[in-house]
Amino acid sequence: MRQPKGLCSRPGLVIAATVCAAALLLSLGRVAPAATGGAHQPTASNGTAALRRALNRPLLGGDLTPVRCVMDHYPEFSGVAVDPDHDVVAFSDFNLKSLLLYRRTANVVEDGITQPLTQIIGPDTRCETIGNVAVDPVRREVYTLNADTGDSIMAFPYSARGDASPRTLAVPHGAFAAAINQRRKEIAVSSTAVDIVTVYRLGSAGLTHPIRYIRGAKTGLAVPWGIFWDQQHNEIGVANDGNWWEGDFGKHSARDLNLVRLQGAQNEPRLKAEFRPPSIRIYSGLAQGDVPPLRVIQGPKTRLDWPRSLAVDTAHNLIAVANLGDNSVLIFAREASGDVAPLRIIHGPHTGIRNPTGIAIDSRNSEIWVANFGHQGEAFDLNANGDVAPKRIIRNAPPGTPVVGTNSTMALGYDSKRNQLLVPN
Amino acid sequence: MQPVRTIGGSHTRLSRTIHGVVYNPARDEIVIPSTHAAAILTFPGDASGNQSPLRYIQGPDTRLSEPCGVALDPARKHILVANLGSHAVTVYPWLGRGNVKPVQEIAGPKTRLGSIMGVSYDPEHDVIVVSGSEPALSRARPAIFMFRGTDNGDVAPLREIVGPKTGILGDWHTAVYKGEIFVSVMQSNLIPTYTSAGLVPTYVKYDFTPPIPTYRGVTPRPDLKAVPPSDWVAPAGFVGVWSETANGDVPPIAIIKGVDTGLSHPSSIALNPKQGEIYVVDPGRGVFTFLAPQLFGLGE
């Protein structure tokens, strides 16, 4: 969304319909005559009659009212983080570019919408194409990241409301998720666009160079999305899609070059690229530069399919993965390595899991939180397995509200055979 | 409304960043770049779910580098690709697969291509239209470039639309119909600036209003000069239409812009000439359909 110097996240495609923004979906919507809703209450367009009416008025140029528009008036959840110390669960909202904080024990009410404790929203928040969310229970702060435009991570106090100003830290392009290590007072950030994990001192602001970074061919990072920091074992885990390229930090990433002081940047094309299987990669929390991971979970037995977010539970020695590609949550042993099957899978129609993009573990209350890209977040028992219903549901829209998901869309095509729009997210 | 179908999952080989898509009616196929894997994927037209592409182009011989916009040349049966990373347009056979060399590559200093994002093709006039910017060390000049369909190597563009009168601060994609170029002028929500010390994330607000064109005797609303309120910091974007014969610093001949349009920063555009419809996507808002039959010569 910024100028052609950068790349944007979340591919997708819509046809007068929508798509799922955070997860690179291609959705196809039918170009139906019926209006689909929108802020401008578009006038009905119905084939020949509408065309005839349009021809009878001079409408070339200017402030035209669209005859149809496809948009979502409600938040669309992207990430989730939980703070049992303060009884708070936080969701990032990719659609309205906001953060919503709820009481941890909240559940849907009769009208189907859960009332948040607060919503942080507005131009002063600097929230743009926001990705995941993290919480700092010590400072009582909630973080979110500009995953495309903005190239920043924003911190707000739990008490923030409305159009609040954040503490902002510049980070490499495509920052999607953050993980906090309270023991080291550090925060790690995964950046999908440039295959890097950068580490900063907690509380850093403005233009601050990272104190460490993980990046390079040996790391195997390939579109790194979710991230966790296991404080007890000082390990950083990263979820990877697998689309790999030989990044050079030249050209469009001059800013990133400056931030991490990489050497040898050139303006040569990125010519080396390949498709690799999705993976979970575990690094030392002190890793610096082009270092291999300590362990890798990868292969057909893992069932990893667009792993978007992940969380660790050292109390129960578990890693939980929001597996966007097949609408599931995968549970692995914390020390799992190689082509291993998950210990458990939460999946099926009763779970309500649909396009999961965020995940968090509340060890104290033995719960797994899932943010489904769209209108529903869910809390499951930590031992949930199979097609089980969630313990609680948090909704941001009335039941049955369709998830449009046309945000961060940077391309559009028209299928003339099917009269459909192709909308990449 | 929900999408009719969704293509997504690891088998699709899609991932972060899809900056282009085009439908091939002759083969009933969808062509999509995978920017982060430097690949061009081709799916069946009715693809759905976690489906593998029919074929893909990828490898060092392809010269693909951050491929973004894609277009089709139906006569030569070619796929045209705008490469953001190499500042080049590369061309491949429709049925190319694997590590295939491009049949054409428009690149080099004479082309003046910089950070390019979009590409479209006018089969009637055999013209390739490229959107993006000229190369620059600091701030690149946004431009629309036109090349002959047969151009190859380091060649100067046929024509170039560039300059302050165009109203373009940042253009992403184009669509072409009968000698007219429809441009999604996104402008920008964030203009990063740089110093030798590193990133300065300064929000730049332009005090700039594009000229208001008169098109075919129709003058837009006079209050169009006012930049509509925006939740972004840059001026609002618009859809502009230029003649393919335009060259230099010329304003658009038609424009869709203003509060009622619902557009903030339109990123991409597609056309349905038979229905007189223009489809525009705004990444912060949604997908909009405008009915403008006059722009397609309907009713004349």
More confident position, A28 or B134: B134
**With 70 as the cut, is the pLDDT of residue B287 above it?**
yes
Give the integer Cα–Cα distance in Å for A412 and B289: 12
pLDDT at B88: 95
Residue A199 DSSP SS3: strand
**Domain contains A400:** no
Q: Which is nearest to A222 in space by CA: A253, A245, A201?
A: A245
Mean pLDDT, range A245-267, rounded to an integer: 42
**Domain contains A210:** yes
**How far is B58 from chain A, CA to nearest CA, in Å?**
7
Q: Cα A331–A336–A339 angle (5° rounding)?
A: 95
Mapping DSSP onto H, E and C, the string for chain B reads: CCCCEEECCHHHCCCCCCCCCEEECCCCEEEEEEHHHCEEEEEECCCCECCCCCEEEECHHHCCCCEEEEEEECCCCEEEEEECCCCEEEEEECCCCECCCCCEEECCHHHCCCCCCEEEEECCCCEEEEEEECCCCCCCCEEEEEEECCCCECCCCCEEEECHHHCCCCEEEEEEECCEEEEEECCCCCCCEEECCEEECCCCCCCCCCCCCCECCECCCHHHHCCCCCCCCCCCCEEEEEECCCCECCCCCEEECCHHHCCCCCCEEEEECCCCEEEEEECCCEEEEEECHHHHCCCC
Q: Do B260 and A5 touch (CB under 8 A)?
A: no
pLDDT at A53: 57
In this complex, the residue of A1, A17, A168 whose CB is nearest that of residue B265 is A1
Mean pLDDT, range B141-168, rounded to an integer: 94
pLDDT at B207: 30
**With 60 as the cut, is the pLDDT of residue A256 above it?**
no
CB B35 within 8 A of CB B20: no
pLDDT band for position B284 (50/70/90)? confident
pLDDT in tens, B166-190: 888 888 899 999 999 999 998 764 4
Mean pLDDT, range A161-177, rounded to an integer: 87
**Domain contains A152:** yes
**With 90 as the cut, is the pLDDT of residue B45 above it?**
yes
Residue A88 DSSP SS3: strand
pLDDT in tens, A24-50: 334 444 333 333 333 333 333 344 565
Domain housing A347: 77-395
Give the integer Cα–Cα distance in Å for B91 and B153: 11
**Domain contains A401:** no
pLDDT at B202: 30
The amino acid present at B59, given as its one-letter code, is G
Residue A105 DSSP SS3: coil
**With 80 as the cut, is the pLDDT of residue A279 above it?**
yes
pLDDT band for position B93 (50/70/90)? very high
pLDDT band for position A87 (50/70/90)? very high
Which one of A62-66, B84-88, B227-231 scores highest in mean pLDDT?
B84-88
Give the integer Cα–Cα distance in Å for B191 and A286: 34
Residues forming beta bridges with residue B42, ordered by sequence position: B31, B55
* Four-CA torsion A165, A169, A170, A171, nearest 10 degrees: -120
The number of C-alpha atoms within 13 Å of B283 and in the hemisphere containing its C-beta is 36
| Residue/partner pairs of A152-157 with CB below 8 Å, 24 or more apart | A152/A126, A152/B201, A153/A178, A153/A187, A153/A189, A154/A125, A154/A126, A154/A127, A156/A99, A156/A120, A156/A125
Chain B residue with minimum CA distance to A245? B37
Cβ neighbours around A417 below 10 Å, total? 12
pLDDT at A36: 34
pLDDT band for position B200 (50/70/90)? very low
Give the integer Cα–Cα distance in Å for B29 and B73: 14
Q: Does B40 touch chain A (CB under 8 A)?
A: no
pLDDT in tens, A382-407: 999 999 999 999 999 999 899 987 77
**How far is B57 from chain A, CA to nearest CA, in Å?**
11
Chain A residue with minimum CA distance to B213? A61
CATH code, A245: 2.130.10.10
CB A303 within 8 A of CB A241: no
pLDDT at A266: 36
CB A369 within 8 A of CB A89: yes
Q: Which is nearest to A310 in space by CA: A295, A328, A289, A294?
A: A328
pLDDT at A61: 66
Spatial neighbors of A96 by CB under 8 A, at least 6 apart, are A74, A75, A76, A121
Q: Does B28 touch chain A (CB under 8 A)?
A: yes
**Domain contains A185:** yes
**A154: which 2 tokens?**
């924003």
Give the integer Cα–Cα distance in Å for A280 and A319: 10
**With 70 as the cut, is the pLDDT of residue A262 above it?**
no
**With 50 as the cut, is the pLDDT of residue B215 above it?**
no
**Domain contains A377:** yes
Report how far apart, in Å, the C-alpha atoms of A400 and of each of A102, A112, A350, B55 are.
Answer: 21, 10, 16, 37
pLDDT band for position B24 (50/70/90)? very high
Residue B36 main-chain phi, psi, to 5 deg: -80, -10
In this complex, the residue of A24, A62, A67 whose CB is nearest that of residue B221 is A62
Same domain as A355, residue A224:
yes
**How far is A311 from chain B, CA to nearest CA, in Å?**
20
Same domain as A97, residue A64:
no
pLDDT at A293: 98
Same domain as A362, residue A235:
yes
- Sign of torsion over alpha carbons B80, B114, B285, A34: negative
More confident position, B295 or B217: B295
pLDDT in tens, A304-324: 999 999 999 999 999 999 999
Q: Do B281 and A255 touch (CB under 8 A)?
A: no
pLDDT at B222: 34
In this complex, the residue of B9, B30, B116 whose CB is nearest that of residue A305 is B9
pLDDT in tens, B288-298: 999 988 888 88
pLDDT at A230: 98
Same domain as A105, residue A32:
no
Same domain as A190, residue A282:
yes
Same domain as A89, residue A63:
no
Q: Which is nearest to B157 in space by CA: B146, B142, B143, B144?
A: B146
Same domain as A85, residue A61:
no
**With 80 as the cut, is the pLDDT of residue B216 above it?**
no
CB A19 within 8 A of CB B283: no
Kindly report which listed range (A255-264, A301-310, B74-83) carries the lowest average pLDDT score.
Answer: A255-264
Q: Which residues of A touch B65 (CB under 8 A)?
A: 269-271
pLDDT at B162: 92
Same domain as A118, residue A44:
no
Same domain as A413, residue A347:
no
pLDDT at B33: 97
Q: Looking at chain A from residue 290 to 319, which residues have their Cβ under 8 Å from any Cβ of chain B?
A: 304-306
**B129: which 2 tokens?**
């239209």
Same domain as A156, residue A203:
yes
Kindly report which listed range (A268-272, B27-31, B65-69, B227-231) carries the lowest average pLDDT score.
Answer: B227-231
**Domain contains A70:** yes
CB B160 within 8 A of CB B248: yes
pLDDT band for position A174 (50/70/90)? confident
Same domain as A361, residue A272:
yes
As a whole number of Å, the CA-based R_g of chain A is: 21
| All structural domains of chain B | 10-188+236-296 (2.120.10.30)
pLDDT at B143: 93
**With 80 as the cut, is the pLDDT of residue B227 above it?**
no
**With 80 as the cut, is the pLDDT of residue A143 above it?**
yes
More confident position, B70 or A29: B70
Give the integer Cα–Cα distance in Å for A26 and A3: 23
Q: Do B115 and A55 touch (CB under 8 A)?
A: no
**Domain contains A402:** no
* Eight-class DSSP state of A219: G
**With 90 as the cut, is the pLDDT of residue B274 above it?**
yes
Q: Which is nearest to A239 in space by CA: A146, A131, A163, A398?
A: A131
CB A66 within 8 A of CB A51: no
Work out how many domains chain A is built from and give that number.
2
Same domain as A201, residue A121:
yes
* Eight-class DSSP state of A373: T
Q: Which is nearest to B17 in space by CA: B134, B102, B117?
A: B117
Q: What sections of A170-290 are H helices per DSSP?
A: 254-260
In this complex, the residue of A7, A70, A414 whose CB is nearest that of residue B66 is A7
**A161: which 2 tokens?**
């409301």
pLDDT band for position A415 (50/70/90)? very high
Q: Specify the DSSP element, H or E, that contains A49.
A: helix A47-55
**A149: which 2 tokens?**
């435009």
pLDDT at B234: 59
pLDDT at B299: 64
Cβ neighbours around B154 below 10 Å, total? 12
**With 80 as the cut, is the pLDDT of residue A281 above it?**
yes
Q: Which residues of A touch B115 (CB under 8 A)?
A: 3-5, 251-252
Mean pLDDT of chain B: 83
pLDDT at A247: 58
**How far is A413 from chain B, CA to nearest CA, in Å?**
5
Q: Which residues of A touch B287 (CB under 8 A)?
A: 14, 16-18, 29, 69-71, 406, 409, 412, 421, 423
pLDDT > 90: what percent of chain B? 60
**With 60 as the cut, is the pLDDT of residue A361 above it?**
yes
Mean pLDDT of chain A: 82
**B61: which 2 tokens?**
């011989």
Give the integer Cα–Cα distance in Å for B9 and A359: 18
Burial B90-107 (b: 16+ CB within 10 A, else e): bbbebebeeebebebbbb
pLDDT at B220: 30
Q: Does B200 touch chain A (CB under 8 A)?
A: yes
pLDDT at B226: 30
Strands (E), A223-303: 224-230, 235-240, 243-245, 273-275, 279-284, 295-298
First to last CA, chain B: 35
**How far is A152 from chain B, CA to nearest CA, in Å?**
9
pLDDT in tens, B232-262: 455 778 999 999 999 999 988 888 988 788 8
pLDDT at A56: 53
pLDDT > 70: what percent of chain A? 79
**How far is A130 from chain B, CA to nearest CA, in Å?**
11
